[in-house]
Every structure is written in C-alpha cells, then in structure tokens.
Structure 1
Amino acid sequence: MSVFACSKKQETDFNIIDHIPNDSEAIILTSDIHQFIETLNNNNFIKESEFGLKTELSKQLKFTQFLNFKSETSINLSNISSKPLVFSIITRKDSGLVRLDSIQNKSVETFKEEGIELQRIVLENNKFFLYETGSTSIISNSKSKILDIANERNLLNSDAFRSALNASDPNKTSIILRNSAFQRSLAFFENFNFPGFNNFAEWSSLDLDIYASEIKVNGISLSGTNKNFLDIFSDIEPREIEISKVCPEDFLTFYSFSFDSDKLKSNLKNISKDSIKRDFPEILNNIREVATIKLKTGKLFVFNAIEIETSKENLAGMGQEVEKYRNIPIFELEDPSIFKDLIPELMHIEETRFYGILDHFIIFSKNKDLIKETIADFQNSNTIAGKSYYSDLISSLSSESSMLMVSRLPELYESIKNSSNSEKLNFRKNSLAAFQIIKEDNFAHLHGIFSNSSDKSVNGNGAKQIATFKLESPTSSTPFFFKNHLTDQMDISVQDEDNMLYLISNKGTIFWKKKLESQITSPVFQVDLFKNGNKQLAFSTGYHLEILDRNGNTVKPFPVKFNDPLTQPLAVLDYDNNRTYRFVLAQGKKVYMLGPKGKSIKGFDFENAKSEIVKAPKHIRLGNKDYILIAEKSGRLNILSRQGSIRVPVNENFNYSENEWYGNEEKFISSGSDSNLISVTQSGAVSRKNLEFADNHRLVANDDLLVYLNENELSINEKKIALDFGLYTDPQLFEIGKRSLIAITDLQAQKVYVFEKNAELLPGFPVFGTSKVDIANADLDSRLELLVRGDENEILLYKL
C-alpha cells in the first residue's frame, strides 16, 4: 500500500511519510480511525479508567466524530507530556471528509498565511485547521504545525523511522514510538529496577490487537546509528525465563534477563569503549538468568544457576549459615555489597545481606524475613508460575526471551499512586502486564500483553497460607480445630513436647496453656457434656481420662485415673448424635465404658476379651444399627451390640494390619497383613480381595468412599493417583457438609495434598506441612481452613 512506501512520489500521490512532523513522538497508523476509537472505548480498562493521556486525547480529537475517514490515516502526536497535546492527522483527500450538513454549531474560515491556503474549522466548539495538497488532507490543532508541513519544514527524515514504518502490519492499527520522547516513563520502569529505557532504542513499531479485556502488542525496536541498550544482548541467545517458578504470587513486579558472562563482558566493553577490565564474581560463570522481584515488603535478587552444586561451591566461603527455615539453610554474606550495582547498565541491585537456595535458584535479599516468606510461598506452591491466569498470559509471548518484565497492576498501582493524583485506573483483580524483548541482529522483537480479564474464575481460590503461630517448644501432636461457642468460629489446640496443651484463637491469641502430666495418647474429641452448646476437650493420657472446658479447667468429676496404663487410645461413642456420650478405654484385655459422669455404664456386659485388645474400640453404624468392634491380638473380631453382647458372630480370625475397621457399603472393612482387603457382612460372612497391598499400606473409609495408600499410589474409590515416592502419613478422610476431602502428608518432602472425592487435587496444593492435618470452616466465610504443623514449633493455617 502506498501509505508504507519509503520513496517520495509525485505531489499527487498520497504518501503519509512525506508529511510527518519531525517532533512526532508517537504515530498511530490505522485504516479505520472510527473503528479504532470504538475498539479502544470497548476495552474495559480504558472505558472504566480516567488518566491524563486519555483525557487529553479525548478532548483534542473529539471533533473526529464529525469527519468521514475512508482510507489510511496517521495520527501524529507531539509534545505528549504537555497540555495542550499537539497533533496532526494525515489522510487521503476526500470531498466528503468534512460533512457540515448535520452539524448545527459550525464555522469555516478560509485564509492564507505564508502563501498557504488553509481553513480554520469549528464544529460544536471543537476547533482544528485543515490543509489540502494534491491527494492529501492534513488536520492539526496547531496552525504552525500545518504551515511547517505545507512548507516541508521540520519533517521527519529518519532511516530508522522508515524501517519501523515498513515493519508495521498494514492490516492492523500500529503505533510507532520515538523511545527518547518517553523519559517520563523512567519512573515507572524504576519499579522493575530497570535502568535501560532512556537509551533503549531509537524507534519502536508496535502492532495493536485490542479486545474487551486484553491489549496485545507485537513489533520491533530499532537501534539506529548509535550504540544503545539493546546492543548489550548481542550474540546472547534468548532463553526461557524461569523466575516465575520462585516469584511469590503477590509480587508487584519482576524483571529478568538471559545471562552469559563472557559475551556480556565483551558487549559492555564494546559499548562503553572502556579499557578498564570489569571483573565478575566467579559464580556468574554458572548463571543463565538474573532477575529482580519487587514485593510489597521489599526486593529480591535472584540467580538461576546452570548447575546448582557448582554455584554452591562458588558461594562457599562468601558467608555462613545463620538459620535454617523449613529445612532450607539461610546464609549471611560477609560482604553485602558484593553484587551491588553488578551490571548497572541492566539492573539496579541493592546490597544483599542474606541468601537461600530453592531448587536451582539462589535468592538474595537484605531482609532475612523476605527470604523466609519466599521459601514458604515456594513450598506452598504459591508462586505466580502455578497460577492459570499467569500461564494464560505468558502463553501469548514467545517461549524464550532476552528480557522479560511482568507486573501485577492493581497492587503496583496501589503501591505507587499519589494521594494528590486525580488519575483513576480501574484494574480487575489479577490484572497483569508482560513485556518481552528478544534481541536479533540490529533490532529487537517486542511482545507485550495487558490482561484485565473480568472472568471471576481467574481470581483463584486455591490454598493459601493465611497465618503462622509459634510455640515456645516443638509440637508433639497434630494441631486440631476446637469449636468456640462464643464466636461460632474455630480455635486451635495443640500439645508441645513439654506436655503443655494450648488453646489459641484462629488469629493467634493464646487463650491459655496447661501443663499435663504426660503426652496425650488419643485423638482429642469435642464433646458437649451438658448439652448446652458449650464444648469440652476429651482425651486420654497414659493413666487418665481427661475432660477440660474451653477455659482449660478440668470438668468434674474428671479426670478418671487408672492404676495401670491404658493400652489403647480413648474412643468416644455417641450412638444417636444426642450427646449421650460413652467413653471407652482398654487396659490389656479389659474394656471400660464410662458415662458423662465418669461412672461405668451398667448393662454393658463386655468387660474382658479373650486376648489383648490391639485396637481402640470402634463404633460403626450401618443403616439404623449400631455396632461396637473390638479386635484382639489372637485375630478374633468381636462385633457387639450396644449392650456388649455378640451381635455378629465372626468365625474366622484375622492377621490384622495396622488399619482400623470401617463401615463401607453396609459392610465392615479393614485389611490384613497378607495383601488382602477384608470385608465382613452384617451376618458375619467374610470375603477377601487381593489388592497386592505392600506391608506399609494405609486405609481409611466411610459409607461410600474407600481410600488406601499402597506405596506411592493413592486410590480413591479405585481412581488411582501416582504420588512421588516419599514417607506418607495415613490418609485422612474429612466429611464437611456434603463434601468429602482426602488429605495426606509426605513427611519426607514436607508436602500436604488434599483431594476431592473424585480424586482431583484441590487448587493450590501441595502446600508445606510436616504432620497430619485438620480441616474445618474455622471462620465466618464459606471457605474451609486447614491446620498443620510447619517447623517443629510452628503451626500453619491455610485457607482452601
């Protein structure tokens, strides 16, 4: 098309490039100006936001609604940072360009100046000047600009600009930028610790794709005749940028670039023509990527190592370990300034006092707590790389970059906006912008995307750590939720290695701590002895049955003390869910059933087993029938009625595994030590199914779910999930409302997994944890919370 021709044609030919002012800072090229403006106005961010450039352009170009553009048009903007903004519009001459018939308030004045005939036109109080020559119409809000163009004064004559113009796509709206004109953007790029924008390139050409919730740009930057920033990347191969794998989801910005120590030193020497040799620390010879991350609470500086063991050797002697957090050593550098201003042409780097290593990334910061937070986010899979809204955004870019900059726009805007600033930028939650540079020869490919999606599904309700609580001593038990009848929320209880039992609010306030004589040996049950909604804690220790109220006081007539040790954990039965509790304990062969007042229940006839009891007595309800199961060391299984008589005679003995008995599909099920799943009907018929269980298999079930872990394979109603090899806790099954969740913790990798009953892993998992878990709705919103031990004296609270 002639609009993109580079050579000057006859005066009668229409050629935009012959009329562009030399001081133009941004040139918008479009084949349909009205469609372009409509598309801009339909973008939800532009439509819902107010900012200076939008306001000024809307004011200055309001008159275009009265003009009938039929061909290629350029809008040339000068003095963008000033008011009023100066523009010129170049389009093909057409007798129907200005239609005055339908406009009431109008005036047209034709006059001559400097030998040039032009018109001053006012349409509905919008004034502009019009000059026509040959096949070209030129419009501007500046008479002097019109006269310069008409007299061929101060016109743009740049080979780099022509190259940028030729690179634009004639089928799209494009914008060509003079990089040096955007010095005021430097303040914004400082949020990325990026110093190179002021000398970035001479001209950049960007093709625009504008949608309701996205704006995409693709194009090139050209260096021109002078050496500049982009030449730093000459002969450095673009690589996949991986910093998102360790970048916390709640970051403000990150900026990363591909790194090659030898080539970078050579390029810097050529650009600066500096004879002084620049020395890099040896570790940089083994680095493929350098990045900086800005968070609300500080900054991180990151190396992505080619071979992490080599990098560890390079770092040896540069500092010493000062702390271990979640099994990750944190080191303090002897020289905090060793990396300060390492490559000032590419990145602003502060002093970095501490560092830790995550996978093949080395994380530096002057703030040790910031490294801890990053470790926690990494272990909890709470990095931006794991979020679908980020992967969707980044999929629009090339897989390899010389440089990549990404920002969370709502959070960044909140952190930098000035209270006196009248701008209103309406970002949707999880709005992101990414800008990618890929160096090639004497130019660079540019790719950018701004996503402001209104899709609520991108908001992500994945697991997120919301609190951490520290105890004075290491925990000795799994923390659990305890109902607070005063707030209708859940408090947290846990015991430490000093036998201290705590009750803590879900905000971290310690209500009380109570020293017990020994460790708790059973689950801690919530009971309501007085049937008034006030909950108590019931549990067994070595010799005692204890019940404490929510203030930590012993409920009389408890504790019940035994002369000999209890050999099985406490079981609490509530046959009809009417809070008429039965507390069942075992000593060797003997069974005790106590009522709410601590007295033996009369009418329960099963007092002694034939051999030692090997599992806690278990209450199972099938249909409308209650059963009490007592397993003996001999392999005998007693299935009793409420009164303690044999209700289901079982004529076989079993080689028990460590798993309990459960009710499932109207049968009693458990597993044997011989690889078999055992089923017993309510009439006593026994069947076995060989599931090739390993010796350490674990099983849990309810009425309609059968879950078992066999080596590294988790089965949920026969749906198989291959887990990493590790050391796993018994799977746990939680029934909350109509929802069933399965939790399991890899103690070796310190990862907690939670699955739906359809075997789907919940969003945001695995997360960091070192124990079994408890799951409940612990606060007043509808989302669930998960409680787990973190470090040895740490309790973690997650929201699912």
Structure 2
Amino acid sequence: MKRFAVFLTILTFIACSKKQEDNYNLAKHIPADTEAIVVTNDFSELLQHIKSNNFLADSEFGLKTKLINQLSYLSNFNFKTETGLSISNLDSKTLVYTITTKKDSGFIQLDSIQNKSVESIQEDGATFKRMNIENSKFFLFETENATIISNSKTKILDIANNRNSLNSNTFKSAYDAADPNKTSIFLNQAALKKMTSIFEKFSFPGFKDFSEWIVLDLDLKKDKLKANGISVHGKQKNFLTNFNGVSPREIEVSKVCPEDFISFYSFSFSSFKDLQKNSKDSIQKSYPNILDNSREAAIIKLKDGELFILNAIESETAKANLAGFGTEIETYRGIPIYEMEKPGVFNSIFSDLILLNENRFYGIIDHFIVFSSDTELIKKTIADHQNSNTIAGKSYYEEIASSLSSESSVLLVSRLPEFYTSIENNSKSSKLKFKKNSLAAFQMIAEDNFTHLHGIFSNSEEQKGSSNGAKQSASFKLEAPVATRAYFFKNHETDQRDILVQDENNTLYLISNKGTIFWKKELDSQISGPIHEVDLFKNGNKQIAFSTGYHLEVLDRNGNTVKPFPIKFNEPLTQPLSVFDYDNNRTYRFVLTQNKRVYMLGPKGKSIKGFDFENAKSNIVKAPKHIRLGTKDYILIAEESGRLNILSRQGSIRVPVNENFKYSENEWYGNDGNFITTEPDSNLITVTQSGAVSRKNLNLADNHRLKANDDLLVYLNENELSIKGKIVSLDFGLYTDPQIFSIGRKTYVSITDLQAQKVFVYDSNAELLSGFPVFGTSEVDISNADLDSRQELIVKGDDNEILLYKL
C-alpha cells in the first residue's frame, strides 16, 4: 500500500552508531511475524528526525502520524545502546510494535513523569508491567540483559516464554551482513508484498515474490539518503533468481527518457537466452530475433501513457531483425513509425519480469526501439531526444546516478513530485512536499545467492540545470512544405513577435507565436534573400519589405500592400533586396540589383537623387551592403571581375581599392575597423579604410563559411567552428552558414547540421547554450517573441513544420 511505501522514507532519518558486543542479543527477541525491523544505536534521535526533518515536517501522511502518535511517549526514555524496533500489521490502522534495548537502570525515571500509571501483572508464568504514560498504553518486560516494550501483550508473553520468535537462517544471513556502524532496515517478503501496488506503478512485478529478507544500511546526508545492502534469496525461486548467471550491464534508457517522465523501470541482460533459462516456465517460449540483439528492456511512465523500450546492441542489425515486424504508417522528423503485425508479442515473453500493455506501434531512435500504444507518445519521445530534452546529461540525474554502480541488473528511478501525484489518485490522506527535481533510485545487482541493493533518495534544495535550457514550446503546420527560413516580425499591437514564412506554393504566412494564422498571401514567386522589417511611417507600426523575381514588395502587418508598392521591374532582379538605414532614423533606402545596374529607391518608391553609382563594370555578384565603421558610412559593391567598389552615400568612390579579388561565397563585413571577407584559397582579406589590402592564411577548406560583426569573427572550417578565436569541434555533417544575433548585451552564434537535423546555439565565448542541440532543418531566427525575459528561436522542422523553442 502507498502509505507503507513511505515507510522507507521515514526510516531514512536515523543516526548511525556502533553495535555493542556483549551478552545482550537483540535478535533473540524478534517476534516471528515481524515484517520490518529497524536496528539503531540512537533510537531517540530516530524519533527526533521523524518529528523535525525538513521534508517530514512539511509533509503529511498517515504512517508518519501513526508512528509519532504511538511512539511519542518514548521521548521519556533514555536509549543508550543498540535498539531494535520490530513492526507487524503494517497495513492496519494500528501498528503492532516491539522494541528491544539493552537493560539499563537509568532507562526510565518514572518520578519525572506526571501523567502515568504502572500496574504489575503476572500471567502465563511471566511478570511484566502494564504502563500508561501520557495516554499511551504499552507493556514492559525485562530479562537479565534486555528491556522489551510492546503494545501487544501477546508479544510480551511470547518473548517471556521463548516462543514464536523469529528463527530464520535467511534473516540471520541478512543480520550478519548489516554494517554494525550504521542504522539498518530489514524487510521480509510479507512487507515487500505490501509494496507491490506501489511498484506496479513502475510496471515492476518483483515485490510479489522478491526475496525472503533484505537489509539496507543507511547513510544520511543533509538532503539525501543513501541505502546499501543485500537481499538474501533463500531456497525458493523468486524474482531475483531470474538474473542468476546473467551479467549486469549499463542501463542506458535515460538517453531516450523524456525529462518530464514520472518513473522508469529497466533491467539488463548480457544474453536473453540466459535470462530465459531462469524463467518459471518449464517450456521455453519462442521469441523475436531482436531480443538476441538487445541488452536492456525498460518501461517509461509518462503523464499521458507509457513506453516500452528495447536497447539494441547495434542499430543496423536491429533494423534488419525488425524487417517484417510491422508496417510503416507515417514518418515523423525523418523517423518511420510502424504498426506491429502482432501487438503484444512481448507480453508473455517478459511476463516474469515486466508488466506490459499491448504496444501496437514502434519507432527506432538510434539503437533504441520505442514501443507504445499511442503514436503521439512515440513522436514526443523522438522530439525530446532530438531536442536533448532527456534526463541523460541533466545534472540532477547525473548526481543521483553517480551514487550508484555503473552496471545494474535492475534499476528503478522516479521523479518524486510527479510519481507521488500519480499514486495519490487525488487522495487527501497524504501531502508530500518535494522539490522540483527530487529523484529516488533503487538499483539491484544480482549474484548467485544474493543481490546487492543500492538506493538513493534526493530532495536537494537547489538543482542545477533544471528547466532553463532550450525547450520546444510550440510547432505550427503549413499547407505545403516550407520554402524559406522563418522570420520574427514585431506585432505593435501586442508588443510581441509573430512569425513570417513562405511555403513552396509561394504562399506567405503571418502566424502568431501561439500558432494562430493571421493571414496567407500568395506571391508571384519565391522571396529572394531575407525579409526586412521597416517602419515607413515612423509611428511604430511595422511593415515587411522583400524582393521576389521581378518585384519589390512592402506589406503591412495585415498583409495589405503599402502604396506605392509593389515596384515591378521588366527584367529579373539578380540579387536580393538590401535595405539601408544610415542613421537609424527610419529613412530607408531600398537597394536592388539587375546584373551591372543598381537601383536605390526611397520610402515612397522613388529613385534617390544624388546617388550617382548606377552601373558597375561587370555583373554584381553580391547584394550591395551598407557598413558603418565608427562615424563613417560605406556602401560595398562587389563585381564579378573581382573589383570592389567602396562608395560614399552619394555613390562616389570613398575608398579606392587597387586590387581585384577572387571572391568566395562569403559577404563583406565590417570588423575591428576594417572590411573583411575571404578568398576561396583560404585567405582572410582585410581592407583598411584607406584602401590598404592584407591577407592572412587561415588554412580554410574551399567550402568554409564566414560571418562577422564589429567585434566578433566567426567561421566554419569543415567540422570546426571558430568563435572569436575559440575552436569548437563539431561532428562531420552538412552545415548551414553560421548566424550571429546580437540582442541587448548578449550575442548568439547559431549553426544547423542539416544532415543530423540538429541546431546548435553558442554564446560569444563559444559555450553551447543549455538544452542544445535541438531538432531543426534550416537556418534560424532568434528574438524575444513574447512578454517574458527569455529569447525564442524559430526553425524549420519537418517539411511543412515550423518549430518554436524557448532558450
């Protein structure tokens, strides 16, 4: 029962001391029907911890109240040595307890107690006392060496007459294995069975037939408890004997376990054939080949259902083993989802080890096969894995895992707030208060005759890496595949940012950051280059400006064309639109290119008088660019011939450059007071404001990419990303150009691996932001899109999907 499950938590708050070696023998006075025993050398401190521990003091549950009420009178007693508390009837309204401690003349001073009564009784050949202290009734019996206290007269008489005492070689083995320097908890099979309903919430059946006795030695820390011990199997077959001769392995399910999990239960096996040999069934069942290529099976409990996980040794072999196992019904983020031909095929195979639902669907994530009865849970797991939103790598999980052995036969982990909420079933009997990332873990490592047990309960005050990392907050579907990168666009009505994106049908969408489609507008062709945000009327109401094949378009936030736009050209525009705002005063210049010709238009669509540069000597190969260095404005126009024109606002040559360049695909940038770009042969070109040219060999590959601003230089060279001189080694992949976002005092550098479909975001010190990489298949945009202080990121997901992340 759930109130008994808390029993272990209560018993964690016990001080440690040393057992005494003399004629006093606590084990001789344990009743035969005892279900749980606590042995401690500081019983008074045990009671004090139950009353005053921070967690217990803030939490309310029936067993705590019951123990305090029944044992509160013991604060009047002077416990000086090893004491045992034996308990039976754990699931009843009133506990039956027996306390054994060493006889001491100073154990109780009745004169100092006001509310008391003492009556001597002789019965069944025994002399003992019936006592009432502070309205608590109990019996007290003394032997030559021991004092026995119980709320059951039957227990007193049995002990006095040396009958019905615990006589178990298995218990003796457990008792001898206990650490004499620590408080120990002993639980027998009857007690463990009463925990079955709780642990079935993990889909763990083991406590129905777990072990004759287990012992746990406790190590109390400020905000955590560690428990280490053994289970003694005895002669009868039980759950743990399933693992005889099966070597434990590393449990890896955390790599696909979503961070918002409730619990997981996992068991490992070096060989599934060896595991099956230990089955209770005399007839061995046939099983799918995938199990010979697996090393772990697990159940993950989530708020909306559960997942069954098989951890395959090698992913390609696993895929081959699963050929014909199911029919592909859809693809999500590049991962096929299948419907099984024979749902529930694993249920009977694992009947001794795990409680399974009928899982109809599955998908393969790396070397994990994820089964569920709900495809949405498989999609969630895929998304969380791709977004690094699993518990693997989270500091609070690593902290608890570091206290356990690296290899397990069985591992159970629960997120305590969510787990207790799930088992309460809206019951008001318990009010347990856990901190956000509190975890409990219980590990079993099987040997031939016994099993090592390791447990940890963590309720730390502060947890690192909680929920401040990047997390997906929304996804939006378009009617056709996404054709352009998505852009944030200021909504002057809400002071938030909406999303602009175009699909392959040339339809432009404006979508709120909550997913509402404000409007759709069909354009004549694809948008070329970036979408620019402008404020033509200087009143805070923003418009968007962009170019298509033949048009310069300006639309208001309702999707309406702003007059006199669009501007139509008879010949195609050969470079994307550039927008200049020299003095940041919203006096915009729209700059467009047709081969050698440059057009500069004002906010009303008219040509700017006084801009004299109209024709280059050869075709213009990059969109004209405005760069401000200090207080000076420069317009850079690069030609196919290698000529670089550095112009004034009026279009005259402002900086004469006497060299021609072999241009790479990178633009010109202003950096550290100079103009910079690269040549295909890996040279970094620097042009000063006086026109002096220098080159620096950076040993870059032909396909390198460069981005820069006034004080930050970023380049990608094969799989190395350099940010301000600091090198980040990436996996080899197919990467987008790096992007730089300066927002307030922070600078972000983003890059996307299109092959692995991962988005990386770094700060200006080349440190990867928490929660990255995340899933994405395009360049990104970053801005504060809502009213909180955290930034948002938008990126293409699946073909017709836009994803919104919160950084």
Instruction: Check the 8 A contact 1:3/1:15 in 2, yes or no.
Output: no
1:151 Cα deviation (Å)?
2.1
Residue by residue, what CA displacement relative to the aligned partner does 1:245-274 show, whole Å, maximum 9, x if unpaired? Answer: 111111112111123222223211xx45x3
Residue 196 of structure 1 aligns with an amino acid whose one-letter code is G
Aligned to 1:642: 649
Aligned to 2:720: 713
In the superposition, relative to structure 1, how do residues 594 and 157 fare at CA in structure 2: closer, same or farther (>3 Å)?
Answer: same
Aligned to 2:100: 90
Aligned to 2:325: 318
Aligned to 2:8: none
2:196 aligns to what SS in structure 1? helix
Residue 639 of structure 2 aligns with an amino acid whose one-letter code is E
Aligned to 1:469: 476
For residues 253-652 of structure 1, what are the structure 2 equivalents within 5 Å?
253-259=263-269, 260-268=271-279, 271-272=280-281, 274=282, 276-652=283-659
Instruction: Give the stretch that moved more between structures: 328-337 or 514-523.
Output: 328-337
Residue by residue, what CA displacement relative to the aligned partner does 1:7-46 show, whole Å, maximum 9, x if unpaired? Answer: xx9xxx2110011111211111111123334445564432
In 2, the alpha carbon distance for the partners of 1:61 and 1:533 equals 71
Whether 1:796 aligns to 2:800 is no
In the superposition, relative to structure 1, how do residues 228 and 4 fare at CA in structure 2: closer, same or farther (>3 Å)?
Answer: farther
TM-score (ref. length: structure 2): 0.95
2:130 to 108, 120, 127: 120
In 2, the alpha carbon distance for the partners of 1:94 and 1:235 equals 49
1:208 aligns to what SS in structure 2? strand
In 2, the alpha carbon distance for the partners of 1:632 and 1:214 equals 68
In 1, the alpha carbon distance for the partners of 2:463 and 2:326 equals 46
Aligned length: 790
Instruction: Give the stretch that moved more between structures: 152-161 or 469-478.
Output: 152-161
Residue 660 of structure 1 aligns with an amino acid whose one-letter code is E
Residue by residue, what CA displacement relative to the aligned partner does 1:512-536 show, whole Å, maximum 9, x if unpaired? Answer: 1100010000201111111111111
Instruction: Check the 8 A contact 2:51/2:68 in 1, yes or no.
Output: no
Residue 600 of structure 2 aligns with an amino acid whose one-letter code is M
For residues 664-683 of structure 1, what are the structure 2 equivalents within 5 Å?
664-683=671-690
In 2, the alpha carbon distance for the partners of 1:100 and 1:500 equals 90
In 2, the alpha carbon distance for the partners of 1:318 and 1:184 equals 39
For residues 73-88 of structure 1, what are the structure 2 equivalents within 5 Å?
73-88=83-98
Whether 1:728 aligns to 2:735 is yes
In 2, the alpha carbon distance for the partners of 1:42 and 1:714 equals 54
In 2, the alpha carbon distance for the partners of 1:277 and 1:346 equals 15
Instruction: Check the 8 A contact 1:404/1:437 in 2, yes or no.
Output: yes
In the superposition, relative to structure 1, how do residues 41 and 732 fare at CA in structure 2: closer, same or farther (>3 Å)?
Answer: farther
Whether 1:744 aligns to 2:751 is yes
Whether 1:754 aligns to 2:761 is yes
1:97 aligns to what SS in structure 2? coil
Instruction: Check the 8 A contact 1:36/1:173 in 2, yes or no.
Output: no
In the superposition, relative to structure 1, how do residues 707 and 40 fare at CA in structure 2: closer, same or farther (>3 Å)?
Answer: farther
Instruction: Check the 8 A contact 2:656/2:691 in 1, yes or no.
Output: yes
Instruction: Give the stretch that moved more between structures: 755-764 or 681-690.
Output: 681-690
Residue 430 of structure 2 aligns with an amino acid whose one-letter code is E
1:212 Cα deviation (Å)?
2.8
1:738 Cα deviation (Å)?
0.3
Residue 423 of structure 2 aligns with an amino acid whose one-letter code is I
Instruction: Give the stretch that moved more between structures: 781-790 or 35-44.
Output: 35-44
Instruction: Check the 8 A contact 2:577/2:590 in 1, yes or no.
Output: yes
Whether 1:58 aligns to 2:68 is yes
In 2, the alpha carbon distance for the partners of 1:85 and 1:685 equals 91
In 1, the alpha carbon distance for the partners of 2:138 and 2:689 equals 93
2:278 aligns to what SS in structure 1? helix
Whether 1:145 aligns to 2:152 is no
1:743 Cα deviation (Å)?
0.3
Aligned to 2:209: 199
In the superposition, relative to structure 1, how do residues 50 and 592 fare at CA in structure 2: closer, same or farther (>3 Å)?
Answer: same
1:322 aligns to what SS in structure 2? strand
Aligned to 2:225: 215
In 2, the alpha carbon distance for the partners of 1:580 and 1:414 equals 59
In 2, the alpha carbon distance for the partners of 1:248 and 1:727 equals 27
Aligned to 1:188: 198
1:384 aligns to what SS in structure 2? coil
Instruction: Check the 8 A contact 1:245/1:384 in 2, yes or no.
Output: yes
1:285 Cα deviation (Å)?
2.1
Structure 2 portions without partners, runs of 5+:
1-16
Residue 312 of structure 2 aligns with an amino acid whose one-letter code is A
Residue 345 of structure 1 aligns with an amino acid whose one-letter code is D
In the superposition, relative to structure 1, how do residues 71 and 327 fare at CA in structure 2: closer, same or farther (>3 Å)?
Answer: same
In 1, the alpha carbon distance for the partners of 2:111 and 2:628 equals 87
In the superposition, relative to structure 1, how do residues 124 and 42 fare at CA in structure 2: closer, same or farther (>3 Å)?
Answer: closer
Residue 326 of structure 1 aligns with an amino acid whose one-letter code is R
Aligned to 1:134: 144
1:170 aligns to what SS in structure 2? coil
1:4 Cα deviation (Å)?
8.2
Instruction: Give the stretch that moved more between structures: 45-54 or 656-665.
Output: 45-54
In the superposition, relative to structure 1, how do residues 638 and 42 fare at CA in structure 2: closer, same or farther (>3 Å)?
Answer: farther
2:727 aligns to what SS in structure 1? strand
Aligned to 1:45: 55
In 2, the alpha carbon distance for the partners of 1:728 and 1:455 equals 37
In 2, the alpha carbon distance for the partners of 1:609 and 1:490 equals 39
In the superposition, relative to structure 1, how do residues 121 and 577 fare at CA in structure 2: closer, same or farther (>3 Å)?
Answer: farther
Residue by residue, what CA displacement relative to the aligned partner does 1:633-657 show, whole Å, maximum 9, x if unpaired? Answer: 1222222222222222222221111
Residue by residue, what CA displacement relative to the aligned partner does 1:369-427 show, whole Å, maximum 9, x if unpaired? Answer: 22121111111121111212111111111111111111122222223322233210111
1:386 aligns to what SS in structure 2? coil
Structure 1 portions without partners, runs of 5+:
none
